[in-house]
Chains A and B, each alone.
Chain A
Amino acid sequence: MELFLMSLTTGILVGGIYALVALGWVLIYKCSGVLNLAMGELTLIGGYVALTFYQMGFPFVLSVVCTLLIGIALGVLTERIFLDKLIGEPILAVIMVTVGLSFFFRGIVEFIWGTDTRVFTPAVFSIKPISIGFLKVSPVYLWSFILAIVLLIVFVAFFKYTRWGLSMQATADDETAALSLGVSARFVYAAAWAIAFMSAGVGGALLGNINGINISVGSLGLLVLPAVVLGGLNSVPGAIVGGIIIGVLQNLSGTYLDVYFPGGVKETMPFAFMAVFLLFKPYGLWGWERIERV
């Protein structure tokens, strides 16, 4: 029982990070209709950038802030250089451009930072577990979760209360109507990519704190895809719930199924679960059902 609760809490806490990255994904999809397969590499870039700043002697919070700023710059650049020209192209073209981007980014990251695992030294969070009631939680997970939740709240508040956020919502809802009301769609797309880079960057920085950072953080970032599919592609609460579900699922399967299927069950389980889940609920939990007309 205690084991169960432990893996459950760890799952929820890690799921918070996934939820943050998944939010960035859903945002791009809602605003510009781009299905982004480069999310893993965005996470990777964020992790390495934060690590570089931290290694240069910045405090962790400040290096996360710097990661956010660099994320904005990279996001706007990516959108302007690559995605801007593809508005209105078929879905395969857009997806494959993001695939191309993911190769490009991964190559660059490996070229600059190499493939060895790097850790944040000195460790940002202490190793000594914190007890909450009878549960023992490693502080990395707890603080990551708290940071992720704070950022989630900031993002959601941004959408609800600021002018930019409202214009993004409007574009997501109906692009033509938003354009006629004077919202600049190009600005919104750029902002969506900037936010995606930011959320993925923070996610990467936090994930990098857990196990160190190497190329496999990119495949952790890829786990947002099952998360958003579970939640439904165009639902923000769905992304958050989906992220947490994936985190829990991953940890529970790691705890219980690893005995029967030794090896990579932890990495594969989310995808397997997703494939089966799609058979029963093809649009995820809260995705819009597409009604097709000929």
Chain B
Amino acid sequence: MSTVWLPCGDYHQNYATDQGWWQTRFIKTKMILLLGVLFIGIPLFTSEYWMSVATMIGYTSMGALGVQLLIGYSGLITLGHSAFIAVGAYTSTLLVLQFPWPQLILDWGLAYPTSIIIAALVAGIWSVLFGLPCAKVKGFYLILTTMAAQFITVDFVITQYVSQIGGRGHAFSLPPGTIKIGPWVIDTEIEIYYLMAILLTGLVAIMANLLRSRVGRAWVAIRDNDIAAETLGINIVWYKLLAFFAAGFMGGIAGAFWVSNTAALSPEHFTWFWSLWLVGVILIGGVGSIHGVIFGSAFMVIIMELLQWAVIPLSQYYPQLLINFAYIKDSAFGLAICAFLIYEPNGLAYRWWQVKNYFNLWPFSY
């Protein structure tokens, strides 16, 4: 077998090569180039504005990865994922602001990194709590319990109680210099971007690895047919709860990252709208693929930016547009989801796969 690229068709002689990450030298080069673009190319050659767009894409992807895990790989439809992102964000903020850290840890800048990990764990556990009904219910009933998670967590617990901690009222704000990793204070666009890039790469690697392990195969089996999976000896309740935990964990990391991006926190960042937005992102990107998550978030974020550009010159003639931009955004998002589901139900990842296949056989297809 060629070590440079695979001939047309997949020739794998054993399971290990089939599941391998770096199957050929071509793929290895491609991935290293991609990492180079992500870590060197974008920060070096783009303006601050585009870097902030990239950060937004990264944040959306981190949130949507958990949704992808639940919907795309375990078949558990969730419409309340932003609740877990919110739990992560609030845990991290409260830890940074309120927890009496020893001076040593503050000096070494370990408070925020530790709080990310704790936030992820707390969000995961919170997610399992609301995943418990999945032992008995599925389909639409499960969708409703995840919606209940959203309303109970964000609209009730966080808005009414957690936001009141510290007596600041509605929103938390983080004083400059509190978000510090080691010796670096995360406050410029480029530092936030790097934090995003590192976390996103880590999460994608974790998820890709999980999916080719025993756990991931169990999830996919449950998604395809849970009764058949049970007869194969998979403990479906355990694995479903594990899926909820993993998704909540990723959501928690995304939330903790969001804190560094905005330096302020309010329940309005985590509305039901945002949960639905994340589901829309994976539908547009393609259900059941990791790069679909990235495609979907990039597509949505960039389309919204373009929409904003289009609105600004138009607003000279019709000033109402600028005020009503949020509603245009809603409508555009709704129409985009409908159009994708009707005309492109496999999402952008499927198009990507088609293009790749075309060039695999190029220039002499069968």
User: CA separation between A47 and B97, bound complex, in Å?
Assistant: 44
A6 interface contact, C-beta 8 A: no
Known: A96-B280, A96-B341, A99-B280. A268 touches B152 (CB 8 A): yes
In the complex, the answer to whether B341 meets A267 with C-beta atoms within 8 Å is no
A154 interface contact, C-beta 8 A: no
Specify which of A264, A265, A272, A278 is in contact with B141 (CB 8 Å cutoff): A278
Question: Which residues of chain B are within 8 angstroms of A100 by Cβ–Cβ distance?
Answer: 280, 333-338, 341
Q: Interface SS of chain B: helix, strand, loop or mixed?
A: helix
Total chain A interface residues with beta-carbon distance under 8 A: 45
In the complex, the answer to whether B327 meets A111 with C-beta atoms within 8 Å is yes
Q: Interface SS of chain A: helix, strand, loop or mixed?
A: helix
Q: What per-residue 1/0 map shows which CB atoms of A77-119 lie under 8 Å from chain B? A: 0000010011001011101110111111111101100000000
Question: Which residues of chain A are within 8 angstroms of B328 by Cβ–Cβ distance?
Answer: 107, 111
Known: A82-B342, A96-B283. A103 touches B334 (CB 8 A): yes
B3 interface contact, C-beta 8 A: no
In the complex, the answer to whether A282 meets B334 with C-beta atoms within 8 Å is no
**Residues of B286-335 whose CB lies within 8 A of A:** 287, 324, 326-335
A294 to chain B, nearest CB (A): 5
User: CA separation between A282 and B341, bound complex, in Å?
Assistant: 29
Question: Which residues of chain B are within 8 angstroms of A271 by Cβ–Cβ distance?
Answer: 144, 147-148, 151-152
B216 to chain A, nearest CB (A): 20
**Residues of B107-163 whose CB lies within 8 A of A:** 130, 132-133, 136-137, 139-141, 143-145, 147-149, 151-152, 155-156, 159-161
In the complex, the answer to whether A102 meets B334 with C-beta atoms within 8 Å is yes
In the complex, the answer to whether A107 meets B130 with C-beta atoms within 8 Å is no
Known: A96-B279, A111-B328. A275 touches B334 (CB 8 A): no
- Given contact pairs A110-B327, A279-B133, enumerate 15 new A-B contacts (beta carbons under 8 Å): A89-B345, A96-B283, A100-B280, A103-B334, A107-B331, A107-B334, A110-B324, A110-B326, A261-B156, A262-B160, A267-B155, A271-B147, A271-B151, A272-B148, A278-B133
Report which A residues bind B (CB closer than 8 A): 35, 37, 82, 85-86, 89, 91-93, 95-97, 99-108, 110-111, 225-226, 229, 233, 261-265, 267-268, 271-272, 274-275, 278-279, 282-283, 292, 294
